Amino acid sequence: MFQSISDLVFLYLIIRESFPLDAELDTEKMQDEIERLKQQLDESRNACRKTVIRADKLAVKAAEDKAEVEHLRDELKSFREDASRFSREDDRKIRHLQREKQESDRKIARLKSEVGELRAVIQQYVGELKSGIEGGVASALHTELDLVRQQAETDVNRMREQLKARERSESADSAELDGLRQELDSLQQSGEAHREALAQANSERQHLQADLAAQQGEVQRLQRGLDSAREEVESSESRLRDQIELRKQAEASLGDALNELEQLRHSENAAPTGMPAGRDDFDVFSTARRDKVIAAIFGAVCAFVLLEGISVMNGRDGLITGLMRNDRADTELQFPQMERTESTQRLTASEPEPVVVGGSNEGDTEASQPEKSPPQVDDAPTSGVTVRDRLKLGGRGPAMIIVDGGKFNMGQRRDQLATEERPLHPVELKRFAIGKYEVTFDEYQLFAGATGRKMPFDQGWGRGQRPVINVSWNDAAAYTRWLTAQTGVTYRLPSEAEWEYAAGGGMDSFYWWGYTLDENRASCFDCGSRWDGKSTAPVGSFPANPFSLHDTAGNVMEWVADCYHANYQGAPQDGSAWMEKGCSQHVARGGAYNKPGDSMHTTRRFHYQQDTKLPILGFRVVREVDKR
């Protein structure tokens, strides 16, 4: 504490000057001074204790912060392995944060060391105080306590400044940690989005694999059918060769019989001159010749009858008739198909002129009697007839084809994995009329002009007779309501059942024309047309199906009335639209110009939000007719 004996002497002289020898010390005052000094010492101890406690808390908080930093470091390391996208700047920040934490740890350790030193000094002071009191050196104790108080105040002020600096550093570290947490949260969200995208891609891959497996199964089935058909053709050709050989034999037998008959005729003519001697001999000769001819004719007739029976049993009209016509239609390769109804057979005939229904309008060249309300379709020809209703504002509505109802099995019968198109279920439809073509831009423009709607974008492909695109389900439904008001008869979107029945044209194959994607039958991504994958085609650019409907496969997908359901469990069996209150997704059918060929399967389904507008979405309409 004191450097030398001289310092003690100097201190003693100062005390002597302050307290003269002739003045006796007052014991009570001295005791009070000692008590005051004890109180100051206690206060200094409390202050030091609080400082130590606060330093301990800071050390605990620093340890917690260090543990949290370690935890964040582990999370960052794990996420770096998952995301593999931490930049060098992020690494630099982390290293900087680690260095700052290490510096903070060193500061805390230094503060702890200083607090320990201060505690040792105080303890030393207390010991010296006790020894001074016991030795009666009160003045020296007073001076020493003043020095201790000053030193303690200096140390406390210095520690306060360090604590303030530490708090500022902690706030900066907290802000850095908050920023790091936010960045980590953002990266985690991005990782979740990537994982969702990956899961969706895996789902699409599995769906495509399932479609590929189904197509491969169908190809194998068709290959087996082709092999079977080839075997049948070879068998038919073999049977045909055998029958031709039998025919030749029969013709040879018939020729022999005719020769015998001719020889008999000559013999009878020559009988008067070359007659045998007796009448009886001649009769025997004639009878023998006649018996031979009759036997030959009977044998030939039996051969013909036998061959004819064999031909009929083999499913032909008859060998003789068939050979005379060179009919070999039985050797052609055909795939199985549904029996067509009488209405389907009528529709394959030449298309009749449209029947215009409704009152006459100025400018129409066709003579029609004005009527207060349009006549019902029962007054016009039935299935297969094209009907066009007159509009109140002038002109005509879309061309509609009358389709007789009937029973059919709706859905997918071959692909067990196509759950959206199953279960296969029977549906019975009433008679209805459906658009011969998809609604065109020209037809939609009448509606848009009359209702003040904006025309949809045509993608730069042109309008006119191209199907209207970029229309939502709501737009299509509004168009049907406008047609109803203009014509006085009910127009609406087709139900899924009506669309599938009409699009198939009575056929049970993938497409209305068969099982293979024939070239230039429709517009799709790989259909072989000049519009493939580029744009829509003008309506009617491709052949019509057996119901005289165009473009039911490809060109644009067509909105139908039904709400979307994941499968046909509980679907209506009367052909009506399957609706639900408040549904927001509706079904579209038919494939499009930029979709692959298998998307045009008659049973294939798609679904979109009802306000969706896309270049691949259009529609056609249905007109209700009377019950029959």
Cα–Cα distance for residue pair 313/324, rounded to 1 Å? 18
pLDDT at position 344: 37
Pick the range with the lowest mean pLDDT from 57-66, 343-352, 382-391, 577-586.
343-352
Residues in Cβ contact with 441 at an 8 Å cutoff, skipping those fewer than 6 apart: 455, 458, 463, 464, 465, 466, 467, 468
User: What is the CB neighbour count within 10 angstroms for residue 216?
Assistant: 10
- Which amino acid is located at 248 in the chain? K
State the angle between helix axes of 473-487 and 441-451 in degrees (0 to 180), rounded to the nearest 10.
80
Assess whether pLDDT exceeds 90 at residue 488. Answer: yes
User: Can you tell me the mean pLDDT for 489-503?
Assistant: 97
CA atoms within a 13 Å half-sphere pointing along the CA-CB vector of 239: 18
Model confidence band, residue 544 (pLDDT cutoffs 50, 70, 90): very high
| Alpha-carbon separation of residue 603 from 222, 347, 434, 512 (angstroms) | 19, 22, 18, 11
Task: Let me know if residue 217 belongs to a domain.
Answer: no
Assess whether pLDDT exceeds 80 at residue 458. Answer: yes
DSSP string, 83-119: H----HHHHHHHHHHHHHHHHHHHHHHHHHHHHHHHH
Domain boundary residue, one of 178, 206, 234: 206
Assess whether pLDDT exceeds 90 at residue 447. Answer: yes
> Are 435 and 557 in the same domain?
yes
Q: Which domain holds residue 380?
A: 343-361+373-628
Task: Let me know if residue 212 belongs to a domain.
Answer: no
> Bridge-partner residues for 435, per DSSP?
400
The percentage of the chain sitting over the pLDDT mark of 90, rounded to a whole number, equals 34
Residues in Cβ contact with 351 at an 8 Å cutoff, skipping those fewer than 6 apart: 384, 386, 548
From start to end of 23-89, where are the E strands? none
> Are 293 and 416 in the same domain?
no
> Are 348 and 320 in the same domain?
no
> Are 163 and 231 in the same domain?
no
> Are 320 and 379 in the same domain?
no
Pick the range with the lowest mean pLDDT from 163-172, 214-223, 374-383.
374-383
Domain boundary residue, one of 171, 206, 241: 206
Phi and psi, residue 68, nearest 5°: -65, -40
Which H/E stretch holds residue 62?
helix 27-83
Task: Let me know if residue 347 belongs to a domain.
Answer: yes
Task: Let me know if residue 334 belongs to a domain.
Answer: no
Cα–Cα distance for residue pair 554/536, rounded to 1 Å? 9
Give pLDDT tens digits for 425-436. Answer: 999 999 999 999
User: What is the CB neighbour count within 10 angstroms for residue 219?
Assistant: 11
Task: Let me know if residue 338 belongs to a domain.
Answer: no
DSSP string, 518-541: -TTSS-STTS-STTTTT----TT-
> Are 352 and 481 in the same domain?
yes
Identify which has the larger pLDDT, 156 or 612.
Answer: 612
Task: Let me know if residue 214 belongs to a domain.
Answer: no
User: Can you tell me the mean pLDDT for 87-95?
Assistant: 70
Residues in the chain: 628
Cβ atoms of residues 622 and 433 within 8 Å? yes
> Are 592 and 624 in the same domain?
yes
> Are 496 and 626 in the same domain?
yes
pLDDT at position 234: 76
> Are 153 and 245 in the same domain?
no
Q: Measured at the alpha carbon of residue 396, what is the angle toward residues 391 and 398, in degrees to the nearest 5?
A: 115
Edge to edge, the sheet with strand 432-435 lists 355-357, 386-389, 400-403, 432-435, 622-624, 491-492
Task: Let me know if residue 213 belongs to a domain.
Answer: no
Give pLDDT tens digits for 335-384. Answer: 333 333 333 333 333 344 465 566 444 334 333 333 334 434 444 335 67
Cα–Cα distance for residue pair 70/57, rounded to 1 Å? 19
Assess whether pLDDT exceeds 90 at residue 171. Answer: no
Pick the range with the lowest mean pLDDT from 84-93, 176-185, 406-415, 478-487.
84-93
Cα–Cα distance for residue pair 437/423, rounded to 1 Å? 30
Number of domains in the chain: 3
> Are 182 and 306 in the same domain?
no
Domain boundary residue, one of 206, 234, 262: 206
DSSP 415: -
- Tell me the range of 28-42, 135-149, 159-173 where mean pLDDT is highest: 28-42
CATH of the domain at 542: 3.90.1580.10
Assess whether pLDDT exceeds 80 at residue 461. Answer: yes
- Tell me the range of 93-107, 294-308, 492-506 where mean pLDDT is highest: 492-506
Task: Let me know if residue 330 belongs to a domain.
Answer: no
> Are 192 and 239 in the same domain?
no
Cα–Cα distance for residue pair 426/142, rounded to 1 Å? 113
> Are 418 and 278 in the same domain?
no
